[in-house]
Amino acid sequence: MAEPLGALLDAALAPDVDPAEVAALPLPGQMRAAVVRKSEVERFAGLATHDKDPRESLHVDVVPIPPLGPNEVLIAPMASALNFNTVWTSIFEPLPTFVFLERFGRESDLGRRHDLDHHIVGSDAAGVVVRTGPGVTRWRPGDRVTVHCNAVDMEGPEGHDDSMLDARQRIWGFETNFGGMAELALVKGNQLMPMPTHLTWEEAACLSLTLATSYRMLVGRNAARMKQGDIVLIWGATGGLGGFATQLVQNGGAIPVCVVSSPEKVELLRSLGVERVIDRQAEGYAFWDGDRQEPREWRRFGKRIRELTGGEDPDIVFEHPGRATFGASVFVTRRGGTIVTCASTSGYVHEYDNRYLWMNLKRVVASHFANYKEAWEANRLVDLGMIHPILTRTYPLEGAAEAAQVIHRNAHAGKLGVLVNATAEGQGVQDPAKRERFAAALDTWKRLA
């Protein structure tokens, strides 16, 4: 049995919090955490991806609390969120994430702490700081924070222009252990950001990974660099990435063309003011016929986009489905335009007709999560009420595996939250008057629950 965090949480969340008092309170020896087990990495051997079920491999176990190192912080996550990377971890694809932890373990003494027989998942969290390690000066026990998942030391030169280029950059809770779906989580001080004051724990916990990724892909200086008036084709526009991409495109004075797969999703986008929406299911695009792509279907799709835009092609295609859509994405992009990609959900060996790329001077730009500054700017937009959470459903920690399966089946919309130390939904709001100002926007996505 894990000991409850009760007194520690009470002190850390007190309105007149005393950081020294919180720091002096004892930590429990063990905690509850959502984990995959090393002993089970062969569990799904021989099964097709679709048939691998996270409900069989993602468990809530009682595990030891990690020791704190330099520049690190222990937070008590009040809530966390599901990301697609937890689906990959729990079906052990494309490889068991223990491979990352073993590699980390070989790197240094501090890395060795991560190389365990269990992997605590979760790459998003909102919570409260309970301990700071040596060298942490910007954060104190009692600070309410959101966490971004770029875990990087910056010891080498490569990352000092853009920390995503650091050779030892890792995604927290995926390529490191001690992620957000645990009563205590280990992060670096430079992963913390102030929690937006009008949000609940579960709303704040579902922001960073997909919002900051979308921010870098579209807005930051490192990828597509969207500008006013750009036409942006957004695949999966009500998914984790797409739900934020759509808002960023609208905010930036660009023109979203959103692709989704149900009338309910179309309706949600319309209620957000998106005029150009394609229901890929209803319109039945079949870009692949077995092993061959269907250029006729690319053309039909391109024609449909032009109908919606008054004859224009996308300046930017926001790509992540990968193999299923990449050929079409390259085809429909405007001459000189950009396909920005951060993922390959449907398969990572992409095929496209290169004549459409080079003859039309298009660019494929790779993007991956975000550096601290990009994540911070994205978080700031939320605090300003310019971007809103896209949470649709919240699960208890014991329901994390069910939530992972829902995402694996593409039976969700927006983000799925997980309560960790919070005892119910709706807790954690610091500024109720500010929340009231954004009440309508905060409720919109919950309609898709």
Stretch that binds ligand NDP, among 99-107, 339-347, 374-382, 420-428 (CB under 6 A): 339-347
- Within residues 2-41, the interface with ligand NDP by CB under 6 A covers none
* Residues 6 or more apart whose Cβ sits within 8 Å of residue 426: 200
CB of 8 to ligand NDP, least distance (A): 32
User: Distance between CA 127 and CA 123 in Å, rounded?
Assistant: 13
Residue 320 makes contact with ligand NDP by CB under 6 A: yes
Of 32, 65, 74, 84, the one binding ligand NDP by CB under 6 A: 84
How many CB atoms are closer than 10 A to CB 71?
17
Q: Which is nearer to ligand NDP, 346 or 360 (CB)?
A: 346
In the shown chain, the binding pattern of residues 243 to 282 toward ligand NDP, with x for contact by CB under 6 A and - for none, equals ----------------xxx---x--------------x--
Residue 324 makes contact with ligand NDP by CB under 6 A: yes
CB of 118 to ligand NDP, least distance (A): 22
| Closest residue to ligand NDP in the complex (CB) | 239
User: Distance between CA 95 and CA 17 in Å, rounded?
Assistant: 43
Count of chain residues binding ligand NDP (CB under 6 A): 30
User: Distance between CA 317 and CA 303 in Å, rounded?
Assistant: 15
Residue 321 makes contact with ligand NDP by CB under 6 A: yes
Q: Which is nearer to ligand NDP, 181 or 209 (CB)?
A: 209
Of 57, 208, 238, 246, the one binding ligand NDP by CB under 6 A: 238
CB of 242 to ligand NDP, least distance (A): 6
Of 309, 346, 360, 427, the one binding ligand NDP by CB under 6 A: 346
Stretch that binds ligand NDP, among 17-25, 233-241, 290-298, 394-402 (CB under 6 A): 233-241
Residue 342 makes contact with ligand NDP by CB under 6 A: yes
Q: Which is nearer to ligand NDP, 324 or 339 (CB)?
A: 324
Residue 207 makes contact with ligand NDP by CB under 6 A: no
Residue 174 makes contact with ligand NDP by CB under 6 A: no
CB of 39 to ligand NDP, least distance (A): 25
Phi-psi label, residue 87: left if phi above 0, alpha if psi -120 to 50, beta otherwise: alpha
Stretch that binds ligand NDP, among 128-136, 297-305, 316-324, 350-358 (CB under 6 A): 316-324
Residue 180 makes contact with ligand NDP by CB under 6 A: no
Of 209, 257, 328, 381, the one binding ligand NDP by CB under 6 A: 209
Residue 179 makes contact with ligand NDP by CB under 6 A: no
Residue 410 makes contact with ligand NDP by CB under 6 A: yes
Q: Which is nearer to ligand NDP, 246 or 421 (CB)?
A: 246
Residue 148 makes contact with ligand NDP by CB under 6 A: no
Give contact residues for ligand NDP (rule: CB under 6 A): 83-85, 209-210, 213, 235-236, 238-242, 259-261, 265, 280, 320-321, 324-325, 342-343, 345-346, 368-369, 407, 410
